[in-house]
Amino acid sequence: MTPEQLIRAQAPHDARLFALVPWTKRPRSEHAHLDAVDRESFLALWVSGNYGIALDGQYLLVDKDRDDEVVQAFEARLPETWMQTTWKRGTHRLYRVPRGFVGRNGRWPGGELKVNGYLVGPGSSVHADGLVGTYEIISSADPVEAPDWLLDMVRADAPRATLTSAADIDVMLDGTRDNELASIGGFMRHKGYSETFICAALAGIVDSGVVEQTPGREIRSVDIERIAHSVARYTPGPGDVRIGAADWICGSNVAIVGPPVDWWVRGFLPHNELIGIFGGKGVGKSSFASWIATQVTKAGGSFLFVGVEEPFPRFLGRSVLCGGDRSRIFSYGQASQLMLPKAVPELREAVRTAGTSFVYFDSIYTHFERIQGENMAERARRCLGPLAEMAQDTGCTIATVFHERRDGDYLGSTEMINVGRVTLHAERAENQPLVVSVHTTNLWEPAFELTFYAEEKALRDPDTDEIQYERVDGELVPMTVRVPTRGPDRKKGIRAGNVADFEDTDDEP
């Protein structure tokens, strides 16, 4: 069956669905499950990847992540209903709640009880901490009504603690809870605890009932993960790093085979990674970028141009003349104001909301925020590191363009090529094609290089047939741009020669 047919067969017929970041449990949009729509509306927009099922006002989720005699006794009381295995081989059971039911998330002996938030839908796959797993349907039966005794465990009208004085706090109020949880997480990080530990500890605090959960503004698992991930980026306090055998990761619990590596161009442009591209001035890096935009949009992806070294209409025109889909090519109009790393959080959310497939920075130096006394290596690591994390988090490929020195090597510190997964080198000898080679990579390295020939074409809008003119010696003549055409691949290591030096390889990407 197709993915669409699987969703129709396995997700409850009246479920509200929304998109997740591929290979993760994280929502694509800022409002997560609050953006969920009915199944058919979702399928009309959905392309591929993971998806979530909203719970609020509709379902009660019994999430099992451990097993013992007490858990088994509890499960024996549960009616048969819609059920799936989780990616870590736990289980999810879905029950319907009465119309108008207001509840709060709680716990049972085997894990969580959730009436607010969402669950990951069947068929979705997750890759994290070296492990890979898939949510698989056990029973696609329509969810049955939750028994009263189960509803009683999550009713929101149960007695709640109240705030009496600054010295006697029994509940984290809605307006301060994020800061309070971040403060607690920061304290644990200072003591040397890992992100996994902090996430579990904060989840325990939230599940205990001492955090106010206003209906519609509940703390979700994704919120806890976000807070834990944020504080874990800080360096632990000196001498406070905790090392113990409990932190060892056993190879038996690690998947050697992960999710498939996807490529825009095999060996050169991987999906959801940070890529560096460097080369000399005027060799054709911008033309190569237009060719990349063409490949991305032809594959159904979307391309965002963040550039200050070339006007977007010219870049777009060249891409369209290459065969790119102009409706999938975008530009950020305030590129000169985008400074790294402080702009990364907003950029990440924008990429998730738009579902952007590829972001291209030309040039990346323009966006490095400067701090007095900071050297180039520190600046590159501070600015590029968050971009690499963003690529992994969002599933978006990010390409950063920088320059080379007179000796043909890259300009800047080694961090310019250490942070990303792939660094490409663009070079062109006089009267020769542009050659793009893999300079460094920790993925598969091809034994060939890409070549591109440039053809001068009039800058024309194919939709209106209008031509861009320029004034030369008082006369209007069509303005031309160099449109790249991919030539035959070339064996790696051959330098400038004649056209006969170029030959096809068996490793066509």
Per-domain residue ranges of the chain = 3-151, 177-253, 266-501
Q: Is the pLDDT of residue 489 over 80?
A: yes
Q: Residue 47's pLDDT band (boundaries 50, 70, 90)?
A: low
**CB neighbour class for 29 (10 Å; exposed up to 12, middle 13-18, buried from 19):** middle
Q: Residue 250's pLDDT band (boundaries 50, 70, 90)?
A: confident
- What is the C-alpha to C-alpha distance for residues 62 and 78, in angstroms, rounded to an integer? 10
Amino acid (1-letter code) at residue 185? G
- 144-145 and 91-96 beta bridge pairing: parallel
Q: What per-residue confidence (pLDDT) applies to 236?
A: 66
**pLDDT above 70: percentage of residues in the chain:** 89
Q: What tokens appear for 378 in the block? A: 């520190």
- What is the C-alpha to C-alpha distance for residues 420 and 426, in angstroms, rounded to an integer? 17
Q: What per-residue confidence (pLDDT) applies to 506?
A: 38
Q: Is the pLDDT of residue 306 over 80?
A: yes
If you average pLDDT over residues 431-453, what whole number do you get?
A: 92
Considering only residues 394 and 169, tell me which one the structure prediction assigns the higher pLDDT.
Answer: 394
| Highest-confidence segment of 65-74, 236-245, 375-384, 473-482 | 473-482
Q: Residue 472's pLDDT band (boundaries 50, 70, 90)?
A: very high
Task: Name 305's bridge partners.
Answer: 331, 360
If you average pLDDT over residues 367-371, what whole number do you get?
A: 82
Q: What per-residue confidence (pLDDT) applies to 176?
A: 66
Q: Is the pLDDT of residue 20 over 50?
A: yes
- What is the C-alpha to C-alpha distance for residues 178 and 212, in angstroms, rounded to an integer? 11
pLDDT digit string, tens, across residues 308-342: 888 899 999 999 999 999 999 999 988 888 988 88
**pTM confidence score:** 0.55
DSSP one-letter code for 412: S
Q: Is the pLDDT of residue 161 over 50?
A: no
Q: What per-residue confidence (pLDDT) applies to 267?
A: 93
Q: Is the pLDDT of residue 500 over 50?
A: no
Q: What per-residue confidence (pLDDT) applies to 369?
A: 83
Contacts 24+ apart (CB under 8 A), 503-509: 505/447, 505/448, 507/267, 507/446, 507/447, 507/448, 509/263, 509/265, 509/266, 509/267, 509/268, 509/446
Which run of H or of E encompasses 469?
strand 469-472
In sign, the C-alpha dihedral spanning 445, 492, 484, 406 is: positive
Q: What per-residue confidence (pLDDT) applies to 299?
A: 92
Q: Residue 52's pLDDT band (boundaries 50, 70, 90)?
A: very high
Q: Residue 494's pLDDT band (boundaries 50, 70, 90)?
A: low
If you average pLDDT over residues 267-271, what whole number do you get?
A: 94
Please tell me the class of the 266-501 domain: alpha beta
Considering only residues 179 and 262, tell me which one the structure prediction assigns the higher pLDDT.
Answer: 262
Task: Name 307's bridge partners.
Answer: 362
| Angle, in degrees to the nearest 10, between helices 221-231 and 177-190 | 40
Q: What per-residue confidence (pLDDT) applies to 503?
A: 37
If you average pLDDT over residues 55-79, what whole number do you get?
A: 88
